[in-house]
Amino acid sequence: MLERNLALIPFHGHMATAYRLFFFIHKLIVLFYVPIGAAFSPHPTWSVVIFDFYLDFIFLVEIVTMFFMPYNDS
């Protein structure tokens, strides 16, 4: 029998729901923000650049946390 690994992020529950909602909202922002910014902003301001770095950091965190999310193997 496999032991429970405490380092894994729970797949169910309030924490997992909040985690998924947080990243879903950021994915919706990127869905609209990136094409509009690429089409209409030839010279981005500092606030746009900082916001881009923020989004990049958020998705870096998501990539790292995906290694700690369990999956069902039937």
Q: What is the pLDDT of residue 68?
A: 75
Q: Is 18 within 8 Å of 26 (Cβ atoms)?
A: no
Confidence of residue 38 (pLDDT cuts 50, 70, 90): confident
Query: Tokens 């496999």, residue?
Result: 2
| 67/74 Cα distance (integer angstroms) | 19
Question: Residue 1, SS3?
Answer: coil
Tell me, what's the pLDDT at 24?
92
Q: Would the pTM of this model clear 0.75, i.e. be above it?
A: no
At 10, the pLDDT band (50, 70, 90 cuts) reads low
